Structures are given as structure tokens and as C-alpha cells.
Amino acid sequence: MTQMIGVNLGNWLVLEKWMAPELFTGTDAEDEWYLTHGLDDVSRRERFTVHRDSWVTGRDFAYLAARGVRLLRLPVPYFVFGDVPPFLGCVDYLDRAFGWAARYGMRILLDLHTVPESQNGFDNGGVCGVCRFHQEPEHVEFALTVLERLAARYGARPELWGIEVLNEPISPDLWALLDVPKRYPAVDPARAAGSEGVPTEFLAGFYRDAYRRIRAVAPGARVVFHDGFRMREWFGMLDSGEFENFAVDTHMYVMMAGQRDLDGYLEYIARTFGDTLAEASQHFPVLVGEWCLDTKQAALAGMPDDERRTYNRTIATAHLAAFEPAVAWTYWSWRMHVDAPELDTWDFLRTVEAGYLPPLAG
Amino acid sequence: MTQMIGVNLGNWLVLEKWMAPELFTGTDAEDEWYLTHGLDDVSRRERFTVHRDSWVTGRDFAYLAARGVRLLRLPVPYFVFGDVPPFLGCVDYLDRAFGWAARYGMRILLDLHTVPESQNGFDNGGVCGVCRFHQEPEHVEFALTVLERLAARYGARPELWGIEVLNEPISPDLWALLDVPKRYPAVDPARAAGSEGVPTEFLAGFYRDAYRRIRAVAPGARVVFHDGFRMREWFGMLDSGEFENFAVDTHMYVMMAGQRDLDGYLEYIARTFGDTLAEASQHFPVLVGEWCLDTKQAALAGMPDDERRTYNRTIATAHLAAFEPAVAWTYWSWRMHVDAPELDTWDFLRTVEAGYLPPLAG
């Protein structure tokens, strides 16, 4: 199987304030829930519409296709179908993306990136500090109907690469390690009360239900399960024979290694990323759905361009070697609106144009 | 002198409906004047702000710089300084552009693209079917103060390549030939009454006044005069010795040649473009401020990609040869939001990515 390489279309239909702070102007919102509820009806419609019309267009697909990018991971919010007012639906933008993918010979991974009351409490989970999705059966049922509707609408499209059931459902361990309530403070403590990491027992059941309901309407669609920051817990479960045509998504951000010298990063990439992928790929197909070159080295900003290029290219080459066992990878992310050179590596176009990535074969 | 090659940042701060029709949603406006006046205050602010924040960003400069693009022609509206309500000023976006140009080693040509009551009656002149700028001294004086303020703010910036006094002041001949009142119907016939091509006598005086007032605040700034579709009338006038450090802008759209076979286009490009530039360059430095590959050949849309690439590359190569006498050229335009393959050549990124242009040396 040829590895599919790609990028995420981040901050298009699921907003993250740090990626384009100007979209949060005039509010004190830190996440899309409070932004949406903090804007009047006219502002909300104008702001989201112009943003969505502009952030990703067919010309972006033209650029990516010419660079060997074949896969687009597309974060989708739970209100995609427009039935959760005052959120504005965005399914017509998914339609556009499929049209562009058809024109440029690319594939799309639909990624349910948020759910009601969140699966991780991150800003990119839709509402900071809240993680109670799994505690409310009505939320769970709603998410399942969204997946069903996505499967019904796109399941037979040749451009569909897969449907990812849920992005980054946080583990109890990671909830504690990151101290999510402190890192992403909840606006309303009462709303956040009872928030916790998503238990594996719940998640296994949810994945099973999601798989069955997607399969029922889209027999040929690949189903993708995020590892939920607990890869080994899926060994023996997802590969039990119950599931067919699926993959497991794991996110590999080198910045999580903390401050190291270059050799330290190369060691981390080879061991933590490479060994994990080699092991997991013995159990099921694995996708690296998010990664980026940022090592959070303050020294990089002051380096001469050539030196920074060599450094980042070395980090990139190590990633690509470690990712060899993966069936696909998608960089985070296509586009950023922050003019800080130390964040260039979060923007795929800037990353490519600066020569940080080796040429991609596709 | 090394030729500067570049692109226009069209439809960023001066809107043209055909380039991004979605920005005109909910109105029946055909131009920016009626769009601005047709939107309520909240919609206007949201729509223009999100558009301007998104249409051009630093990452676009990164892409262009890596392709050898050194010059950005930046259309500026007369309300740039925010003193013509309800139009929203946009000088902070010029500031951003200069910052990006500094980072990426590029130069900017500020191009006053609209004036009150228009200099051409085109949609891109701000208000369709109206051409009465030159008839009202207060409009003329206002335009001069805009040029002065641009010169004062940017005249000493090393990134400034020049200040273009006025884009495409239409000649009486072209006004008649294009039948502007029919091609761009005025919404309000009373407002358009008396519209006409801009007389050369007026234009020569305006250019002289503009030159003096820019020079007074920006002694080192290059001043650019559009030929107003009457190149030969400037021979002996602009090169009389009165003007220093200036250039003349001429626009060369091959589609104006009408329907021809490939050899016919090549002949037209060599003769009409090449000979004009060779002759005019004997008199003063000439810039081709707008051009694009579109030949309006219906057959192109149905051609195999390779064949279309060869055709367009041939047309492009002929342009670049004809443009050799020019001190600079800037393609129209960086970005378009229309998904019609036959319009790909109006989008510089798509044009480059499709291989229609030969590699640019810069």
C-alpha cells in the first residue's frame, strides 16, 4: 500500500483562536462555543461566512496537489448539519471540498472534531475546560446521528478516504497530566463540573456503536478511530476481527518531548514515534493524523535562514523515516494567520516554501 | 537595470465582484460603492474586515518570494484613510503589506485604483457607468491629498517601489469603443449624466499636480503614471525633462486581440505589445502593470492538461519576450475565488502551479 501524505484543513470549519485570533475580535471568547454565542446574529453570519468562503478554496487544492499531497484531513464540528442553533451549519463547505478533491485527484478524511460538551476540554474541542460528552446519552446519540449523516452523504464518494469517529478523546491519564481545567479554564464552572478524561470502557462502546452505524449506511467506507492517547489499550480489541476496513489515528507532536538538543529530538522521534508506529502497525493500519515540526526552540527565531532550514529539514526527515509504517500522515495544518516566524512550522505552506520538508513523492 | 517581476494584489482593498462574487451576497450591487452603501453597519464591518484579514497574508508573500516575485502592485481605494464614510479605511492593511515586504525582501507599488465619481466607469473603478472625477475640482483635490498622505506615510520606506497616481483613466476613444455606459450600466442615470472619457488635457495637468505634491513630501519616491490607453500622447510630454524618477504603466491583456489561432496571438503579442514597449521605452521607463494569459479560448477548458499547459506556456513565453524592454511587470492577479477552469489563468497561484509560466528568475 502506498502511503498517503496530506495536510489538515485546520481552523476552517472548527476554529482555534490561536490560529487566527482576528476572528475572535470584539469578544472575550477563547473557544468557538463562546465566540458563537457572544456574537449577534448578523455578525455571526457575516464573520463565519466570509471566513469559510476564504480560508480554504480550490486554489489551495491546486497548490497541494502539485506538491504530492493526496489526503486532506478535514475537521468537522458536530453542528455541521445546521441543526444546533445558533451555530451555523457548514455541510455545503464539505460539498465544495469533495468537488475540489475530485478535480485534483485527492482524498478526504472527515474528522468529527467536536461533540456536545466536548471530549477533551481543549479549545479545539469546542468549549474550554468541559469534558462531559460521554456522560450524557443524548449527546452521544447526537454524535452518532452526525456520523450517520456524514456516511450517508459521502460514503459512496470515491474521494472519501475515511470517516474519523472522534478526534482526541482525552484519556484520564492525559487529563491529569495536562491539568486541563487549569490549562483551559472553563468560563462556567457549573458547566464544567464533573468533567474528566473519557474512560476507555465508554470509548470502546462508542467506537463499536459508531462503526456499526456508519457501516449500515456506508458499507465501503473506511472508519478511523483516534487512539485517545492510549494506543496499547486497543491492541487485542480493535484487531479482534470485529472491525474491517478501519485505521487508528495517533497524533505525534515532537514538541511534547520538551526541550532537547537536536540528537535528543532525533532519538525521541525514532523511539517514541517510530517504535510506537512499528508496534501498532502489527495490530492494525495506523495514520498519523496530526504532527508538525515545531520543537519550541527559542533559538530558531534568531538563526540564519540556512541554518534554520537545515535544522528543520533534519527534524522533518527523521519524522518521515519514523512514519514509514503508517498508512498515511497529515500535517497540522494547512494555514495559520499568525505572523511570528517561530510559528511558521504550523503553516504547511510556509513550511514547504521555506524548504523545511524534503520534496514529497505522493 | 534588472527587471522586477511581480503580481497585483487585486480584490484585496478594491473589490471586483467577478473575482469573488460571494462578497456581494445579499445585495444586488455590481460594484463596491453600492455594496458598501447596501450593507448595514454591522454587516459592512464584519464582511470587509474578515475579507481583508484573510485575502492576503504573510504566507502569500512567502509563496511569492520563493517564486522570484519581487514586486507587488497594490490597488488602493480613495477611502484608504477612513475619511469617506460609510467606506471603511484600510491603511493598516497597507502597513501590514509593507511589513511582509520587509520580511521577504519585496517591493510595493501603491496604485490609487479608484477616485470619487470614478476615472473610468468600470466596476473596478468603484462605481459602474460613472466617469466624472475630472469634472469636479473637489474630487481632484481629494485624490491629491490621498496621494500626499500615501507619500508621507510610505515615501521613505525602502520597500516602496513607487506610487501610481491613478489607475486606468479611460481615454475618450476607449470610452466610445467599449461603450462603457452599456457595458457597465449606471444604477442612477442622473449620477452618471455627463460621464465621458478623461481628456488628455485634464490628465496631463493632474499628473503634473500629483507629481509635484508627491515630490514635495517624498523626494525619493518613484512616481508612476498610467498611460490612460493613449501611450503615444505622452511622448514629448512626460519625457520633456520636467519629471524625474518616474515610470509609465501600460496594461496589456492579450484577450483584447479577439479570437485568433495561436500564431495570431503570438503575432499580436510581438507586434502590439513588444513593439509598443520597445518604442515607449525609448521615451521613459515602462511598467506592464497588468496582464494575464487568458485568451478566452473556449477550447482550452476541454483540452487535456498537457496540451493546455503547452498552449498557455507558449503564450506566456511570448509575453515575457515582448516584455523585455519593460522595467517591471505585474500579473493580474494573485487570487481569484471562481472555480471555473477557464478562469484559472487570472489566478497567479493556479497559473504557476499548473506550469503555465516558465520558472521566473526574479
Q: What is the pLDDT of residues A12-48, one digit of tens each?
A: 999 999 999 999 999 999 999 999 999 999 999 999 9
Question: Are A139 and A115 a contacting pair, CB within 8 Å?
Answer: yes
Query: What is the full DSSP assignment across B322-344?
Result: HTTTSSEEEES-S------GGGG
Partners of B75 in beta bridges: B111
Phi, psi of B247, deg, nearest 5: -145, 160
Grid cell locating A187? 468560563
> Would you tell me which CATH number, out of the four given (3.40.605.10, 3.90.1150.10, 3.20.20.80, 3.40.50.10090), belongs to the domain A4-14+51-353?
3.20.20.80
User: Helices A137-154 and A200-217 meet at what angle, rounded to 10?
Assistant: 30
Partners of B328 in beta bridges: B4, B287
User: Which residues in chain B (309-348) have CB-CB distances under 8 A to chain A?
Assistant: 335-337, 339, 347
Q: How many CA atoms lie within 13 A of B5 on its CB side?
A: 17
Q: Do A337 and B22 touch (CB under 8 A)?
A: no
CB count in 10 Å sphere of residue B207: 22
Q: Is the confidence metric ipTM above 0.90 for this complex?
A: yes
Compute the distance between CA of residue B40 and CA of residue B17 in angstroms, rounded to an integer: 19
Question: Are A112 and A165 a contacting pair, CB within 8 Å?
Answer: yes
Q: How far is CA B23 from CA A100, B93, B125, B341, in A?
A: 20, 18, 17, 21
Q: Do A353 and B54 touch (CB under 8 A)?
A: no
User: Helices B137-154 and B200-217 meet at what angle, rounded to 10?
Assistant: 30
Query: What local confidence, expressed as pLDDT, does residue B341 receive?
Result: 87
Which residues of A fall within a CB distance of 8 Å from B345? none
Residue of B nearest to A47 (CA): B46
Closest CA to B124 of B112, B113, B137, B133: B113
* Amino acid identity, position B121: G
Grid cell locating A3? 502511503
* Amino acid identity, position A155: G
Question: Are A185 and A119 a contacting pair, CB within 8 Å?
Answer: no
Query: What local confidence, expressed as pLDDT, does residue B1 receive?
Result: 64
SS3 B31: coil
Q: Do B43 and A47 touch (CB under 8 A)?
A: no
Pick A57's closest partner by Cβ from B23, B337, B353. Answer: B337
Cβ of residue A294 closer than 8 Å to a chain B Cβ:
no
Residue linked to cell 458563537? A36
Question: Are B67 and B7 a contacting pair, CB within 8 Å?
Answer: no
Cβ of residue B354 closer than 8 Å to a chain A Cβ:
yes
Phi, psi of B288, deg, nearest 5: -95, 95
Q: Do B40 and A42 touch (CB under 8 A)?
A: yes
Phi, psi of A48, deg, nearest 5: -70, -35
Residue of A103, A344, A353 best to disrupt the B interface, most CBs of B under 10 A: A353
Digitized pLDDT (tens) for each residue of chain A, 362 residues in all: 689 999 999 999 999 999 999 999 999 999 999 999 999 999 999 999 999 999 999 999 999 999 999 999 999 999 999 999 999 999 999 999 999 999 999 999 999 999 999 999 999 888 999 999 999 999 999 999 999 999 999 999 999 999 999 999 999 999 999 999 999 999 999 999 999 999 999 999 999 999 999 999 999 999 999 999 999 999 999 999 999 999 999 999 999 999 999 999 999 999 999 999 999 999 999 999 999 999 999 888 889 999 999 999 999 999 999 999 999 999 999 999 999 888 999 999 999 999 999 988 64
Cβ of residue A235 closer than 8 Å to a chain B Cβ:
no
Residue of B nearest to A51 (CA): B50
Residue linked to cell 475579507? B51
Grid cell locating B229? 490607453
Question: Are A123 and A31 a contacting pair, CB within 8 Å?
Answer: yes
Partners of B225 in beta bridges: B248
* Amino acid identity, position B214: I
Pick A47's closest partner by Cβ from B46, B58, B63. Answer: B46
Q: How far is CA B281 from CA B46, B247, B261, B277, B288, in A?
A: 45, 10, 29, 6, 11
Residue linked to cell 469636479? B136
Please report the number of interchain residue pairs, chain A to chain B, with beta-carbon separation below 8 angstroms: 84
Compute the distance between CA of residue B232 and CA of residue B357 in angstroms, rounded to an integer: 30
Grid cell locating B138? 473637489
Q: What is chain B's alpha carbon radius of gyration, rounded to the nearest angstrom?
A: 19
**Kind and range of the H or E element at B310?**
helix B305-322
Query: What is the full DSSP assignment across B115-179?
Result: -TT-SS-SGGGTSTT---GGG-HHHHHHHHHHHHHHHHHHTT-TTEEEEES-S-PPPHHHHHHHT
Pick B350's closest partner by Cβ from A22, A46, A62. Answer: A62
Pick A58's closest partner by Cβ from B23, B40, B339. Answer: B339
Query: What local confidence, expressed as pLDDT, does residue A112 receive?
Result: 98
Grid cell locating A91? 455541510
**Kind and range of the H or E element at A65?**
helix A58-66
Q: How far is B183 from chain A (nearest CA, A)?
A: 28
Question: Are A163 and A223 a contacting pair, CB within 8 Å?
Answer: yes
Which residues of B fall within a CB distance of 8 Å from A100? 339
Q: How far is B44 from chain A (nearest CA, A)?
A: 9
Compute the distance between CA of residue B146 and CA of residue B81 in angstroms, rounded to an integer: 8
Question: Are B146 and B116 a contacting pair, CB within 8 Å?
Answer: no
Closest CA to A91 of A152, A159, A23, A19: A152
Q: Do B350 and A59 touch (CB under 8 A)?
A: yes
Residue linked to cell 525619493? B220
Grid cell locating A44? 455571526
3-state secondary structure B220-273: CCCEEEECCCCHHHHCCCCCCCCCCCEEEEEECCHHHHCCCCHHHHHHHHHHHH
Cβ of residue B259 closer than 8 Å to a chain A Cβ:
no
Query: What local confidence, expressed as pLDDT, does residue A362 receive?
Result: 47
Q: Do B43 and A46 touch (CB under 8 A)?
A: yes
Q: Are strands B286-290 and A4-8 parallel, antiparallel or unpaired?
A: unpaired
Closest CA to A120 of A173, A68, A52: A173
pTM of the model: 0.97
CB count in 10 Å sphere of residue A217: 16
Domain definitions of chain B by residue range: 4-14+51-353
Closest CA to B71 of B159, B167, B163: B159
Longest CA span, chain A? 56
User: Which residues in chain A (146-165) have CB-CB distances under 8 A to chain B?
Assistant: none
Query: What local confidence, expressed as pLDDT, does residue A302 receive?
Result: 87
Compute the distance between CA of residue A118 and CA of residue A170 in angstroms, rounded to an integer: 10
Query: What local confidence, expressed as pLDDT, does residue A125 receive?
Result: 83
10-residue stretch averages of pLDDT, chain B, 362 residues long: 93 97 97 97 98 98 96 98 98 98 97 98 92 98 98 98 98 97 96 98 98 97 98 97 97 96 97 98 98 94 92 98 98 96 95 94 58
